[in-house]
A and B are shown apart, each in its own frame.
Chain A
Amino acid sequence: MAKILIIAEHDGTKLNASTAKCVTCARGIPAADITIAVCAASPASVAAEAARIEGVNRVVTLEHPANVHALAAVIAPQIVAIAGPYTHVLGPSTTFGKDLMPRIAALLDAPQVSDIMAVESASRFRRPVYAGNAIATVEATGAGKLVGTVRTASFTAAPAGGAAPVEAMPVAADLPEHTRFVSVSAAASDRPDLQAARRVVSGGRALGSAENFKILHSLADRFGAALAASRAAVDAGYAPNEMQVGQTGKIIAPELYVAIGISGAIQHLTGIKDARTIVAINKDPEAPIFEIADFGLVGDLFQIVPELEKLVGQRAVP
């Protein structure tokens, strides 16, 4: 049997959708027995949410004041202390999981498979390399534990409907004090979360300025869409870093992705190619984005965006 421990990602009160995607990945491993670990200062609400995910066998909580912020150096030893019985330790391939899971792997002396996009067996997985321009099938050899991060765009979230037992476990590890949380600056927004959004409107360098980038805001509102940006637009200061999509930013899989003024460097395309439908609006008919777009519209975005807004009319329900 594969005993799988999934590390929950949460903000202290709500579970991140990435956790239910990890569950779907874990359920692809034959004979999976799935435990979710919730490290928090007060884990009750997050644990209750985790317990409702279908396919989860149990939830364990690790309650400690030091868990008020998710610091890899603090969480890793707690997970290692309870990891004994497990064959696999999984986390999402978000910045939370990317930061944490290799720290756990090293302390467990276990190899890590990053960005799992498909499960072939308990030890064999497919993952993208070279910015998604090649897909590698990797196998972990040896009898030890395996750590993995799950490429969330490759899995749908396991639905609610379960009722797993929740068990509190003592925090038995020495927690370091050498790493301290200072602050997080997150732009307040009532738009859908980029990584969970069904529709995404995304802007590139052709927007030309932070001021111009704002023309996408009302279009995104009409679509009920999250906002995203290419690396070039973020580098130029038109949009904040949390909007960046691509090899080194977020990997997303919305139903609709509207790329506006984005030429489509391979590093960007790797972040969007799981989108169901891709729309590209660009004045350069040779832009590589048109190679993968389902619908391409060649023209001046400053003319097309207001037209689209008018045609789409009332704000959509997200």
Chain B
Amino acid sequence: MTYYAALGAIEQGLVYGIMVVGVYLTFRILDFPDLTVDGSLPLGAAISAVAISHGMNPYLSLLLALAGGFLAGAVTAILNTKFNILHLLASILTMIALYSINIRIMSGPNVALLNATTVFDSVTGLGIPAQYAGILIFGLFSVVVVVLIVWFLSTELGQAVLATGDNPQMITSLGVNTHTIIILGVGISNALVALSGALVAQNQGAADVGMGVGTIVAGLASVIIGETVFGCRTIGRAFTSALLGSVLYRLAIALALGMRFGSFQFNPSDLNLITAVLVVCALITPNIKKRFLRR
């Protein structure tokens, strides 16, 4: 792994980390396995890219992306709560519908943002080299997101979200409408995923309808890597772990990309396999360490 690739992996880890925070909210806090994210990530990207190419301020476009993502999540949650469709199926339905909607939004499968004004220009304008600008701005965004989410979960409403995931019967008996809470929670989660998608598009220079493929896989892998390696005892720690898990996941890919043993080279097509093996290593190391310490 070269220094530049490592910087790139951290940058990618942070920008997708915002998505992972969203996935953590549904998957762990609400206990709602949500596949909408494969559609809401490109949704955020599409909204932001189209808005920017129409001359909108890149920061304002992020607000639009947040709103779009929230709506997408709300649709999934409404299908689940009000119409009794199984959460997995409801999220799959929204996800495949978003594929067509995203093409509508972009009036095509791909909108280029190369040479457009993005959130980076406000940082590189200060004279910070571009390879650090991404880390700085995504670091800032992801830290703010984690702080806001942790603060939100400490409010009364947030406590209701936590309780809805832990013990829906108890919270219903206290007179809270779990349906509203689930719609709010899944909405916020997808708003974050869409924000992540918008930033990803601005970072990679294009929004593409295919960019959501594998989002949930990366999201879940990052969540579990984070939990295993950094722990999840408190809410604050859990969300920080999710973010760091995302960075570790991207570092694993970067490591796999540059992997070489002397003159032996992997096939380029082995990338996914190597990444999987590296992630497995990261997951079992704490376990092995524990066993050795016990003896």
Judge: A and B partners, yes or no: no
